[in-house]
Amino acid sequence: MPHQKLDILITGASRGIGAAIASALGHGHNVVLIGRDYAALTSVASGLPTDNVRLVTCDMRSTDDIDRLCQTVGNVDVLINNAGIAQFGDVVDMPRTDIERQVATNLLGPLTMMSNLLPSMLSRKSGMIITVNSVASTTIFRGAAAYSASKAGLLAFTRSLRQEVRDHNIKVVDLIVGATETEIWSSASRSEHGHRMMTADHVADLVGQLVKGFHDDRCMIEEITIRPQLGDL
């Protein structure tokens, strides 16, 4: 089958894993890069063909922002839920605002995005949703209670959604990712443990492989876990 450009929306595309995914997919597909920092998005887009890329600012904590974004973008073939934040610490020491910020960004934002884009996919009987999740959704880490709750909730949602839409030729894929050397970790942690972390390109390469299965009507990869060679930190 000849190569066909897909319309792909990537959240959290201004840095880290999202930027690496944009670079991996933006040469062969039409990509919409989503983030809060327009200057950072522009930097990511500078290495991509101008006719393949579109930049839209959006705060994933804002339902109004997401609603406006989805109305502006229109039909999307592939949604890549990548945006996320992490704030670590024991529950007793964590301000309520930090807990709410993680739940809003990591859980409610992607849920709102999917709810907005699904009707079009269902009407076309075609679509793919790839969610870049974390091993914290399935593995216990001290100091990650709020983060884990947001990620576990997202995994439960996408697992259930998969069963709802699979008969409509829509693929819902969960990519469960271990420690990756990005800005979600402090500079001190990256300096000390970077040799035990994957790179953003490791994850982006795998996302590229998943997208290649978009047109396969007989096979769907449901979940993949990717970890550093030496395991969790």
210-223 pLDDT per residue, tens: 999 999 999 999 99
Report percent pLDDT > 90 for the chain. Answer: 96
Q: pLDDT by residue (tens digit) across 131-157?
A: 999 999 999 999 999 999 999 999 999
Q: Looking at domain 7-226, which CATH architecture does it have?
A: 3-Layer(aba) Sandwich (3.40)
- Please state, in angstroms and as integers, the Cα–Cα distance from residue 228 to each residue in 46, 100, 176, 208, 231, following that order: 30, 29, 12, 19, 5
Q: Which residue, chain included where needed, has tokens 């089958």?
A: 1
Q: Is the pLDDT of residue 2 over 70?
A: no
Q: Is the pLDDT of residue 1 over 50?
A: no
**Is 147 an active-site residue?**
yes
Of the candidates 106, 147, 155, 158, the residue annotated as catalytic is 147
Q: pLDDT by residue (tens digit) across 116-126?
A: 999 999 999 99
The encoded tokens of residue 194 equal 């970077």
Q: Mean pLDDT for the chain?
A: 96
- Give 180's DSSP letter: B
Distance (Å, whole) CA 58 – CA 80: 15
What's the average model confidence in pLDDT over 67-94?
96
Question: Parallel, antiparallel, or unpaired for β 7-10 and 127-134?
Answer: unpaired
Look up the pTM and report it. Answer: 0.96
